[in-house]
A and B are shown apart, each in its own frame.
Chain A
Amino acid sequence: MAKRRDLQAGGEGDGVDGVGVYHAVKGKTIAQLLAVGHELLSSEGVEPAWVPFTEAERADAESPSA
C-alpha cells in the first residue's frame, strides 16, 4: 500500500510553503482583531459597536438565490 505523504503546517496554521494546504485562524486572534478594530474605530470618532444585521438582510440571506 502506498504510503501517504502527510502535510506539515507551520505558524498559526499555514500550509506548505505558507500557502499550500490551509490557512486557519484562532478564535483568540479574531477576538484580538475585534478589540483592535474597536480601538481604531474609536480613534476615528466612530462608535466601535457592531451594527446588527437587519431583518431585511436576514430575509435576503434566507432567500433561495442567496
Chain B
Amino acid sequence: MTAPDPSDAERRARLTEEDLRRADRTVRLAWGQLPAAHSELLKEIGASQWQVVSEPLGPVVDGLLRSGGHPGLSRAAQAAMVDAVAVWIVQLRLMVLDAGHESLEGLDDRSYDESVATTAWHEWAHALSIELCSREDVAAGPRLLELAPEGIRQVIRGAGYHPKQYTHELVANVYALLMYRRRRNLSERPEWLNEEIYKLVERVTGWME
C-alpha cells in the first residue's frame, strides 16, 4: 500500500463537523431531486441509505464490510480506492461519500453542490443498474459504449473499467447527466443520447419522462 499523503492528512485534519453535515445535507438534497418513482425503487431494493465519512474510503469500506460480517478488502483493493470520492457497497447496500476528498476542497457552494449531487446520482444509478441489468445488458456493454457520446466513452475508457462494467458505467453516467438536465426542467431524451442507451436507462432506473 502506498504511504499516506501528508497533504491529505492535513486536509482531513481541518475537516469540521459542519463540513460533514454540509456533505450530508447535499446528498439529502440530491436524494430529494430524484423522481419519486426512482427513490421508491431505490427503497424497494434497500438502497436508500448513505453515510458521509471523513477518512479515505479504502479502510472505511474494509471496516464496514468486516463489521457487517463480510470478508474485508485486500490491501490492494483498499489502495485501488485511494482516489475514490464515493462508493456503492453492494453487500451493505450503502453509499459512502468521502467528505474529505481533495476533489471537494476549495469549491464554491455551487460547484460543491454540483459535484456532490452528481456523485450521489451516479452511485444510486449504480445501485439500480447492478440490481436490474440483465446478463444480456452487461454483455452488450462494449457495443453500447460505441453508441455513447464521445466524451462519455472517453470518461469510461479513461477510468480503466473492465468491459463487463461498461453497461453499469453507462447507466450511472447517463443517469447522472439526465438528473443534471432535469434541474433545467429537461427530461426528455436528449438528441446526443442514443435511443438504445436511453431505453436501457429507462428500463433500469424507471426513467419515464
Instruction: Using C-beta atoms within 8 Å of the partner chain, give the interface range for chain B.
Output: 35 or more
Interface of A, helix, strand, loop or mixed by DSSP = mixed
Residues facing B in A11-66 (CB within 8 A) are 11-15, 17-37, 39-41, 43-44, 46-47, 50-53, 57-58, 60-62, 66
Instruction: Using C-beta atoms within 8 Å of the partner chain, give the interface range for chain A.
Output: 35 or more
Q: Which residue of B lies closest to A31 (CB)?
A: B103
Which residues of chain B are within 8 angstroms of A58 by Cβ–Cβ distance? Answer: 25, 29
Residue pair B114, A13 in contact (C-beta under 8 Å): no
CB distance from A64 to the nearest CB of B (A): 12
Residue pair A37, B177 in contact (C-beta under 8 Å): yes
Which residues of chain B are within 8 angstroms of A32 by Cβ–Cβ distance? Answer: 154-155, 158
Residue pair B110, A13 in contact (C-beta under 8 Å): no
Given A14-B162, A23-B123, A66-B28, A28-B114 contact (CB < 8 Å): no
Given A41-B181, A44-B190, A4-B72 contact (CB < 8 Å): yes
- CA distance in complex: A35, B115 (Å): 11
